[in-house]
Amino acid sequence: MREREPVVVTGLGVVSPLGTGVDRLWENLLAGRSGVGPITRFDTRDFEVRIGAEVKDFNPQDWMDRKEVRRRDRFTQFFTAATQMALQDAGLESKELDPARVGLAVGTGIGGMETLYEQILVLLEKGPQRVSPFLVPMMIANMAAGQVAIDFGFTGPNATYVTACASSAHAVGEGMRMIQLGLADVVIAGGSEAAFVPITIAGFTSMKALSTRNDEPEKASRPFDAQRDGFVLGEGAAVLILERLSFAKARGARIRAELAGYGMTADAYHITQPAPRGAGGAAAMRLAMADAGLGPRDIQYINAHATSTPVGDVAETQAIHDVFGDHARELMVSSTKSMTGHLLGAAGALEAAITVLTLEHQVVPPTINYEVPDPECDLDYVPNRARPAQVEAALTNSFGFGGQNACLVFKRWRG
Structural fold of domain 7-250: Peroxisomal Thiolase; Chain A, domain 1 (3.40.47)
Contacts of 94 (CB under 8 A, 6+ apart): 87, 152, 153, 154
SS3 20: strand
Distances (CA, A) of 224 to 75, 279, 290: 29, 18, 27
Give the mean pLDDT per block of 10 residues along the chain (415 residues): 83 98 98 98 97 97 96 98 98 86 98 98 98 97 98 97 98 98 97 98 98 98 98 98 97 97 98 96 98 98 98 98 98 98 98 98 98 98 98 98 98 93
Contacts of 21 (CB under 8 A, 6+ apart): 13, 14, 85
Residue 165 appears among annotated catalytic residues:
yes
Domain range list for the chain: 7-250, 261-412
Q: Which helix (H) or strand (E) holds 104?
A: strand 102-107
The residue among 64, 21, 242 whose CA lies nearest residue 151 is 64
pTM of the predicted model as reported, rounded to 2 decimal places = 0.97
Contact indicator for 152, 94 with CB cutoff of 8 Å: yes
Q: Which of 170, 321, 342, 407 is catalytic?
A: 342
Same topology for domains 7-250 and 261-412, yes or no? yes
Q: Which of 305, 321, 377, 407 is catalytic?
A: 305
What pLDDT is stored for residue 96 in this prediction?
77
Residue 170 appears among annotated catalytic residues:
no
What pLDDT is stored for residue 94 in this prediction?
66
Torsion, Cα of 388, 348, 12, 136 (10° steps) = -160
Residue 342 appears among annotated catalytic residues:
yes
Helices (H) and strands (E) in the chain, counts: 13, 15
Other C-beta atoms lying within 10 Å of the C-beta of residue 45: 5
How far apart are the C-alpha atoms of 210 and 224, rounded to whole Å? Answer: 15
CATH of domain 261-412: 3.40.47.10
What pLDDT is stored for residue 93 in this prediction?
77
What pLDDT is stored for residue 415 in this prediction?
80
How far apart are the C-alpha atoms of 412 and 406, rounded to whole Å? Answer: 20
Helix residue ranges per DSSP H, 242-395: 245-250, 279-292, 310-324, 337-340, 347-361
The b-or-e profile of 5-37 (16+ CB within 10 A means b, else e) is ebbbbbbbbbbbbbbbbbeebbebbbebebbbb
Q: Which of 165, 170, 321, 407 is catalytic?
A: 165
